[in-house]
Structures are given as structure tokens and as C-alpha cells.
């Protein structure tokens, strides 16, 4: 008996699904609209007007970023005064100043006093001068105290405080096999360890020396559409004295190099980057004054970085989302308008099941449509951008799959939310507006008018959090940038973002089920 | 002959609860978003690049959606229920019907918008100075932003009414209006070429229309305040004209 009932209820459920699917596919407007939604996503993704200069100025202008030892694309540009270090050894120096300018404010005026918060000056041991090679460095920074960094993405915090003539900072870097230790001191006598790191691929003979660099400075500016960001290169100059190398210095003298300096027009207004030496061994040691520009860090997108991410190819999601919401709402409100809902509920008196069947059909149709559209966009969009000379940060397969399935899930859950709001309101215009405004407006406000803290909050708690599924860039605290969602940076991890939208949708569905149950049609 | 038609439209609007609620919604949503944004913004130590009037009136971004719903239902609702046949039988001059609808709608939206804008400014005036952002309510640019925002909402109502008249279906009409209001400003943000971005900003109904809220950094804007509102007026004019033509030519 129980088995019979279960089989019967399964058949009823299949019939309900079939009925809802038939309703959907036989309304020409909805089929056309879903095609339009897919077309909007693909079209806006592929017909991007974005133009870049990569590869446009002849050979050598192709944008190729070095790859770090852990696989990330990196920036490896700094002024390097170095000599060979054969086997184990220790490098010591005192930094007595770190100065530089910030670019003028966006509304004009003179350059502002710096140095850039992430200007870096210190000691480094590195596998040669090849861009992207393994390294470890201990350094003073413009505004983030003493740090020990290695292999581009790792950052350890040391003593806070800036460098001045009255409070110089002693730095010491010791190599013992694959282990590199960074230490800091105020007097050159008592030392504190900042960090000890392992560089497994550092060869026996490495280059070691002094380095100075200063990254692209980015800040948010408000425009007509809303906040954007501007950025400009910066330069820093540091003074080193009491430079000592113990261990096995293989080379007799220091070599000066400006590694990874942009060539051609990209070099812009950078002044001469160089190294000055004053004093000599006889007068109590050489004093190095080193000027550098660039960064030793993971490469990013956005204002302080370069190029686009695959997130940008999916901008059509906004247009697609609105169409999907119109269809999802209409799937319910059209029945109320035509009175078909009475027939539906007479044929299938279990109202909760009718709602579930509608939600399942809306989800499935939208998911498949979104999946196809997003897959086409993510596969071909970056090719179009690259053909236009725009650098597109490569995303690994797992990220691409997550962005594509995530976009489909975002659209599909939004369609279910639209179904639920449609049941709650029964009127198309109001329901569509609530669903669209609930998902899109927080995002719009977050990227336009609101200050960063409020914007991050909105992107965490409102349904707009689900856009985090399209995240394709990694945010590093040790890289100064204006991290905007348009560039692929979101405050929540992808699946947490989806969970927020799902929570709102479940809430709306529950309210819709209660409403449908309690109220006459 | 527009007098009786005006009265008819006014009666339709005031005798169902929907429009009154929506108008109240315009006021409440605008003030709520504006005060939340003001409360969330603090400026310590001088220039933060915040335009106080734009911040105080940011609730318009939500209020405009409610205005659009009201305007779309004003026309789309009649097609949905078939009331449009009665309306056009009673007033065979279809232009008159559209003109009467537009006038009544403009009047009530202007009233609600004035309340919403005044309320937003008053609330922001209470919050912002304490957060280090002065908001001089009597200054000409702030008054321009206030008056301009009221006109902006009236024009959005006209745009939505025009689109609803053309497509005759509330759902499709509100979809198109919301795409113009919210998808357009998002989509153009990926254009990295500044010259193209400014061109697209000058063309969009909201990106140009909301330029009227700017009170600081006017030189950096891609379009002047009143010219920006003019662009929106052109959009509204075109939508209402096309609406009038198809209403005239087509069977109801």
C-alpha cells in the first residue's frame, strides 16, 4: 500500500513537472525572451569595444607577464644592486631613508608627499636576474613597517614604523641552504627575526644585494557613472650604508640593474632610475642612494594592475538577469492574469507542489540557458579581447568552470526568486521590480556612490552577493589596489555569495508557499 | 476636451489603492536609501571626493524604480484588464488619453518626488555635517540638484509611460525600463577607453540625467547638469511620441 502511494505520488509529481514545462515551452514570448537573455550575455561579452595596446606597437610590445615559482603571473620590476653569493652567506645593511612622491590628486595640483605606502627598500637574495625567479627579501616599506616577503605572494609582518634619519633600520638576510632568515634591528647589535622561509629551488649560486621599488599608486575617484579609479606610477629613493656581505662573495664588485623596467611608451614619465654611490671604504663605507619603480608582487587587474579578467566578459549578465526575472515572474503572474491559476490548482490541489514544480522548471530552463551563454562568453570573450590588444589575465580551468556554472546558477536562482516574488505579489510589474532591484541595485550602489565599507557590507548581505560567483582575481593585502567588483574582486568567497542569494530565495519561497496556501485564488 | 479626460484619469488613479501606495513608496524608499548612505559615509580630514548633494539624493536610484512601476501600470494595467477598450470607447481621441495620462502622472510624481527630495535633503543635513561633510542647503548648485531630481523622476515616469504604451505589456515594459535604468550604467562600466565611456555616459538616460545632481567637480563630469537632464528629456520625448503614434495607428 505504501509502495503504491509512493509510486502514485511520484507519477503525480512527474505530471506536474510535465504540465509546467509544457506551459513554459508553448509560450513563444518566453522562449524568445530566454534566447534574448542568452544573446545579451554572449553579445555584450563578445562585442566588447575594449581596445588595448598589447602587440600593437610591433614586435616586443606583446604583453607577457613573468610567471612566479608558484605559477602566478607576477610583476618583477625593481632596481637591484647585486653580487654573486656562492653558497651560504649573510647580507647586512642600514636603511637611513625612504622617500618618494605620490602622483597629483585627480583634480590637479602638485605631486603629494610620499613615499607610496607599499614602496619597498631592503635586501634580497634571488635566483639570478630572470623575471619571475624565486627570491626572499626583507625590507622597509613606505607605510607598512618592516616586512619579509618571498616568491611574490607570501608576506610576513615585522616591526611597524617608518624609516627616518633619526630612526634608521638595520636589516640582515641570512642564507643557509634552502633557508633564508630575515632579521631587523635598531642598532645593528640586537637583532629580531622577522621570518624564516624556505626557497626549495634557490640554486647554490644566487644573486644577493640591495633593492628599491615603488608600485603603481591607485586611488578611487568619483565620476558621473560612479566611482572609478585612477592610477599612476611612483618612484622611491632609499639610502643604504654599512653594507656588508659575509660568507662567500663570488664576484668582486656590485652590479647595478633596473630589472623589468617597461620599455617604449609604457615607461611614461619615469625619471632616470639609478644608483648613486658616495664615500668609499676608506671614509667609513660606501653610501648607496638607490631609486626604483615597479613592484615585486603578484600581478593584478584593475587600476594598479593591468588588463582585464574573465569577469569583465560576463558584463551581459546584468541584461540577461533582468530578462530572466521578467520571464520567471511572468511564469506565475500570467496565470493570475488569465485566470489559468484556478485551472492549475483545480488539477493539482497540492499548492506547495505546484510552486515547487514551477520553481524546478524555471531553475532548469534558466540554468541551461545561462550555462550555454556563459560558456560561449568565457571561452571566446577573452580571445576577442586579446585580439583587440587587451591583456586578459589567464584563469585556470577550475576558475573558468566555476565562473560559468556560477553565472548559470546565479541566473537560475534569480529566476526562482522571481517565481516566488511573483506568487507573493501576483502582479508582474511590482514583482519584476522587486526582484531586479533586490539583486542589481545593491551592486550598482556598491560600485558607484557608496564608500568602501558600506559597499562591502552590501555585497555581503544582499542578494547581489551572488555576483561573487564571477570572481576571477585574487586579492592580496600586500598589493595596494582599488579592488572593484568590475575587475573581478568581491568581498565574499564565490560559494558563500551564492549561499546568500539562495537564503533570500528560500525565504521568499517559504513566504510564497504560505501565501499560496492561505489565500484564495 | 482634455478636461473630462483628465478627471477620468485622475479618478482612475485615486480610487484604487495601488498608486497611493506606490507614491508613498517613492517617498519612503528614496529617503531611506539616502539616509542609509549618508549614515554610512564619513569623511575625516578634508577632501574625500564626496559630492554631498549626490550622496544625499542617492535614494533616487531606488525611487526611480517605484516611479517606473507606477507609470507602467498606469498604461499596462489597462491593457492587462481590458479597461483600455472602455477608455478608448469613451475618449476616441487617443492622443487626448495619452496626454491626460501623462499630465496626471507628471503631477502626482512631481508631488511625491518633491517630498522625497526635500525629505532626503533634510535628513542628510542632519547627518552629514556631523560626519565631516558640509551640505549647504541654500546654495544654488544644491537647489539645482534638488529641483533637477524632481524633474528627473517626472521624466522617468514619462519614459516608462511611453515604453508601456508601445509594448502594451506591463512585464515587458518594466523589463525594458529597468534595463535602461540599471543594466545600462553597469554594462558601460567595462568600457576602458575613457573617451568612449564619456560618450556612452552622455547618451544614457540615467547616466546623463543624474548629472543634474552634481554639485562638485563639474569640470570632471562628461555632461553639464541641465544638458544631462535634457538628454533624458529627449529619451522621454521620443518614447512618448512613438507611444502616441502606435496608439493612434494600432488596434487597442
pLDDT digits (tens, 9 = 90+) for A73-119: 888 889 998 888 888 889 999 999 999 888 876 656 677 787 888 99
A231 plus A330 within the same structural domain: no
Given the C-alpha cell 520625448, which residue does it identify? B237
- Distance between first and last Cα of chain A: 34
Distances from the Cα of B22 to the Cαs of A378, A391, A419, B157, B179, in angstroms?
40, 47, 22, 12, 20
Q: Is residue A63 part of a domain?
A: no
- Domain closes at, from A235, A270, A298: A298
Grid coordinates belonging to B177: 525600463
A319 plus A292 within the same structural domain: no
Domain count, chain A: 2
**CB contact, 8 Å: A105 with chain B?**
yes
Cα–Cα dist B117/B139, whole Å? 15
Query: Do residues B71 and B108 lie in contact, with contact meaning Cβ atoms separated by under 8 Å?
Result: no
Q: Is residue A67 part of a domain?
A: no
Q: Residue A2 has what pLDDT?
A: 65
Q: Rounded to 10 degrees, what is the CA torsion of A32, A33, A36, A41?
A: -150
Given the C-alpha cell 573617451, which residue does it identify? B195
- Domain closes at, from A275, A298, A321: A298
Residue A213 domain boundaries:
74-298
User: In this structure, how many other beta carbons lie within 10 angstroms of the beta carbon of residue B1?
Assistant: 9
Higher-pLDDT residue of A230, A489: A489
Q: Residue A181 has what pLDDT?
A: 94
Burial grade of A355 (CB within 10 A; 0-12, 13-18, 19 or more): buried
Q: How much of chain A, in percent, has pLDDT values that exceed 70?
A: 90
* Structure confidence by residue, pLDDT tens digits, A250-272: 556 788 888 876 544 444 444 45
Distances from the Cα of A214 to the Cαs of A48, A118, A127, A304, A372, in angstroms?
33, 7, 21, 12, 44
Q: Is residue A61 part of a domain?
A: no
Partners of residue B178 in chain A, C-beta under 8 Å: 322, 432-433, 436-437, 440
User: In this structure, how many other beta carbons lie within 10 angstroms of the beta carbon of residue A416?
Assistant: 24
A389 plus A269 within the same structural domain: no
A244 plus A320 within the same structural domain: no
Q: Is residue A279 part of a domain?
A: yes
A396 plus A511 within the same structural domain: yes
**A211 pLDDT exceeds 50?**
yes
Q: Is residue A271 part of a domain?
A: yes
Q: Please state whether the predicted TM-score (pTM) of the whole model is above 0.90.
A: no
Give the count of Cβ contacts less than 8 A between chain A and B. 149
A127 plus A176 within the same structural domain: yes
Altogether, the residues listed in chain B come to a count of 252
Of A401, A407, A442, which is closest to residue A317 (Cα–Cα)? A407
**Long-range Cβ contacts of A72-75 (<8 Å, 24+ apart):** A72/A152, A72/A153, A72/A298, A72/A299, A72/A474, A73/A298, A73/A299, A73/A393, A73/A394, A74/A131, A74/A132, A74/A152, A74/A296, A74/A297, A74/A298, A74/A299, A75/A215, A75/A260, A75/A294, A75/A295, A75/A296, A75/A297, A75/A298, A75/A299
Q: Is the dihedral of CA B42, B46, B51, B57 positive or negative?
A: positive
Partners of residue B192 in chain A, C-beta under 8 Å: 50-52, 308, 390
ipTM confidence score: 0.85
Higher-pLDDT residue of A233, A141: A141
* Structure confidence by residue, pLDDT tens digits, B84-123: 887 877 777 778 888 888 999 999 999 999 999 999 999 9
Altogether, the residues listed in chain A come to a count of 521
Cα–Cα dist A496/B238, whole Å? 44
Cα–Cα dist A358/A513, whole Å? 12
A163 plus A24 within the same structural domain: no
**Nearest CB partner across the interface for A322, out of B50, B183, B192:** B183
What value, to the nearest 5°, has the Cα angle with vertex A264 and ends A262 and A265?
Answer: 100
Averaged pLDDT of chain A: 84
A137 plus A183 within the same structural domain: yes
User: In this structure, how many other beta carbons lie within 10 angstroms of the beta carbon of residue A175?
Assistant: 21
* Structure confidence by residue, pLDDT tens digits, A6-48: 777 777 888 888 988 988 888 888 999 999 999 999 998 888 7
Check which CATH number belongs to the domain holding A102 and give it.
2.60.120.200
Buried b (16+ CB within 10 A) or exposed e, A25-47: eeeeebeebbebbbebbbbbbbe
Q: Minimal Cα–Cα distance from B53 to chain A, Å?
A: 11
Higher-pLDDT residue of A110, B32: B32
Cα–Cα dist A135/A211, whole Å? 12
A234 plus A334 within the same structural domain: no
- Domain closes at, from A243, A275, A298: A298
Taking CB atoms and an 8 Å limit, are B217 and A50 in contact across chains? Answer: no
Residue B243's H or E segment, with its range, is helix B225-249
Q: Residue A265 has what pLDDT?
A: 41
**CB contact, 8 Å: A128 with chain B?**
no
A434 plus A363 within the same structural domain: yes
A360 plus A244 within the same structural domain: no
Partners of residue A322 in chain B, C-beta under 8 Å: 175, 178-179, 182-183
Q: Is residue A6 part of a domain?
A: no
Q: Residue A222 has what pLDDT?
A: 52
Residue A215's H or E segment, with its range, is none
* Structure confidence by residue, pLDDT tens digits, B212-225: 888 877 766 778 88
CB-based contacts of A383, cutoff 8 Å, min separation 6: none
What value, to the nearest 5°, has the Cα angle with vertex A223 and ends A222 and A228?
Answer: 65
**Nearest CB partner across the interface for B211, out of A220, A224, A337:** A224
A140 plus A251 within the same structural domain: yes
Buried b (16+ CB within 10 A) or exposed e, B46-69: eeebbbbbbbbbbbbbbbbbbbbb
Partners of residue B223 in chain A, C-beta under 8 Å: 224
* Structure confidence by residue, pLDDT tens digits, B169-221: 888 899 999 999 988 888 887 776 677 778 888 898 998 888 888 887 776 67
Grid coordinates belonging to A50: 575594449
Amino acid at each position: 500500500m505504501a509502495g503504491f502511494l509512493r509510486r502514485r505520488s511520484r507519477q503525480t509529481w512527474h505530471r506536474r513537472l510535465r504540465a509546467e514545462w509544457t506551459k513554459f515551452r508553448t509560450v513563444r514570448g518566453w522562449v524568445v525572451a530566454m534566447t534574448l537573455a542568452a544573446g545579451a550575455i554572449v553579445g555584450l561579452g563578445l562585442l566588447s569595444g575594449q581596445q588595448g595596446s598589447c602587440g600593437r606597437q610591433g614586435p616586443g610590445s606583446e604583453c607577457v607577464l613573468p610567471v612566479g615559482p608558484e605559477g602566478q603571473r607576477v610583476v618583477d620590476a625593481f632596481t637591484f644592486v647585486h653580487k654573486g653569493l656562492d653558497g651560504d652567506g649573510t647580507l647586512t645593511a642600514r636603511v637611513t631613508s625612504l622617500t618618494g612622491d605620490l602622483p597629483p590628486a585627480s583634480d590637479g595640483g602638485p605631486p603629494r608627499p610620499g613615499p607610496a605606502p607599499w614602496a619597498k627598500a631592503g635586501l634580497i637574495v634571488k635566483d639570478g636576474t630572470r623575471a619571475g625567479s624565486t627570491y626572499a627579501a626583507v625590507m622597509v616599506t613606505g607605510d607598512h613597517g618592516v616586512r619579509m616577503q618571498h616568491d611574490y605572494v607570501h608576506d610576513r609582518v615585522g616591526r611597524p614604523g617608518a624609516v627616518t634619519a633619526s630612526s634608521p633600520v638595520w636589516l640582515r638576510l641570512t642564507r643557509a641552504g634552502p633557508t633564508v632568515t630575515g632579521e631587523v634591528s635598531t642598532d645593528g647589535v640586537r637583532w629580531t627575526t622577522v621570518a624564516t622561509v624556505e626557497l626549495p629551488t634557490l640554486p647554490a649560486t644566487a644573486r644577493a644585494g640591495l633593492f628599491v621599488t615603488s608600485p603603481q599608486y591607485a586611488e578611487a575617484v568619483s565620476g558621473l557613472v560612479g566611482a572609478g579609479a585612477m592610477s599612476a606610477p611612483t618612484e622611491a629613493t632609499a639610502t643604504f650604508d654599512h653594507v656588508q656581505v659575509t660568507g662567500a662573495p663570488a664576484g668582486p664588485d656590485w652590479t647595478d640593474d633596473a630589472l623589468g623596467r617597461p620599455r617604449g611608451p609604457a615607461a611614461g614619465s619615469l625619471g632616470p632610475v639609478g644608483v648613486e654611490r658616495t664615500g668609499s671604504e676608506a671614509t667609513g663605507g660606501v653610501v648607496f642612494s638607490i631609486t626604483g619603480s615597479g613592484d615585486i608582487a603578484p600581478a593584478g587587474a584593475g587600476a594598479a594592475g593591468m588588463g582585464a579578467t574573465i569577469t569583465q566578459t560576463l558584463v551581459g549578465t546584468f541584461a540577461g538577469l533582468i530578462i530572466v526575472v521578467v520571464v520567471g515572474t511572468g511564469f506565475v503572474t500570467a496565470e493570475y492574469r488569465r485566470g489559468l491559476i484556478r485551472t492549475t490548482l483545480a488539477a493539482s490541489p497540492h499548492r506547495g507542489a505546484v510552486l515547487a514544480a514551477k520553481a524546478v522548471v524555471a531553475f532548469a530552463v534558466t540554468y541551461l540557458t545561462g550555462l550555454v551563454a556563459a560558456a560561449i562568453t568565457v571561452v571566446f570573450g577573452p580571445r576577442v579581447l586579446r585580439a583587440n590588444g587587451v591583456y586578459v589575465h589567464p584563469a585556470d580551468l577550475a576558475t573558468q568552470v566555476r565562473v560559468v556554472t556560477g553565472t548559470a546558477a546565479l541566473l537560475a536562482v534569480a529566476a526562482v526568486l522571481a517565481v516566488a516574488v511573483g506568487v507573493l505579489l501576483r502582479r508582474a510589474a511590482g514583482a519584476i521590480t522587486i526582484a531586479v532591484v533586490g539583486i542589481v541595485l545593491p551592486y550598482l550602489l556598491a560600485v558607484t556612490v557608496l564608500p568602501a565599507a558600506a559597499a562591502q557590507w552590501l555585497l555581503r548581505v544582499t542578494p547581489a552577493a551572488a555576483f561573487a560567483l564571477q570572481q576571477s582575481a585574487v586579492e592580496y593585502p600586500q598589493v595596494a589596489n582599488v579592488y572593484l567588483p568590475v575587475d573581478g574582486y568581491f568581498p565574499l568567497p564565490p560559494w558563500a555569495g551564492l549561499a546568500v542569494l539562495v537564503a533570500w530565495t528560500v525565504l521568499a519561497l517559504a513566504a510564497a508557499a504560505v501565501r499560496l496556501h492561505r489565500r484564495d485564488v | 476636451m482634455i478636461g473630462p479626460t483628465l478627471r477620468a484619469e485622475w479618478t482612475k488613479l485615486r480610487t484604487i489603492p495601488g498608486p497611493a501606495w506606490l507614491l508613498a513608496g517613492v517617498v519612503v524608499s528614496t529617503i531611506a536609501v539616502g539616509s542609509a548612505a549618508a549614515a554610512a559615509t564619513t569623511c575625516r580630514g578634508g577632501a574625500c571626493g564626496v559630492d554631498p548633494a549626490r550622496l544625499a539624493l542617492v535614494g533616487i536610484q531606488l525611487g526611480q524604480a517605484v516611479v517606473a512601476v507606477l507609470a507602467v501600470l498606469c498604461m499596462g494595467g489597462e491593457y492587462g484588464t481590458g479597461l483600455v477598450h472602455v477608455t478608448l470607447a469613451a475618449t476616441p481621441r487617443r492622443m487626448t488619453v495619452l496626454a491626460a495620462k501623462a499630465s496626471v502622472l507628471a503631477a502626482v510624481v512631481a508631488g511625491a518626488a518633491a517630498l522625497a527630495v526635500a525629505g532626503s535633503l533634510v535628513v542628510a543635513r542632519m547627518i552629514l555635517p556631523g560626519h565631516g561633510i558640509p551640505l549647504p542647503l541654500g546654495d544654488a548648485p544644491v537647489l539645482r540638484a534638488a529641483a533637477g531630481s524632481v524633474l528627473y523622476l517626472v521624466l522617468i515616469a514619462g519614459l516608462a509611460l511611453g515604453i508601456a504604451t508601445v509594448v502594451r505589456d506591463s512585464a515587458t515594459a518594466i523589463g525594458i525600463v529597468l534595463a535602461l535604468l540599471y543594466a545600462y550604467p553597469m554594462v558601460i562600466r567595462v568600457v576602458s577607453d575613457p573617451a568612449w565611456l564619456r560618450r556612452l555616459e552622455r547618451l544614457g538616460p540615467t547616466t546623463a540625467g543624474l548629472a543634474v545632481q552634481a554639485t562638485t567637480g563639474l569640470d570632471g563630469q562628461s555632461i553639464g547638469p541641465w544638458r544631462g537632464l535634457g538628454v533624458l528629456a529627449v529619451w522621454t520625448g521620443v518614447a512618448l511620441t512613438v507611444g502616441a503614434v502606435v496608439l493612434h495607428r494600432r488596434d487597442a
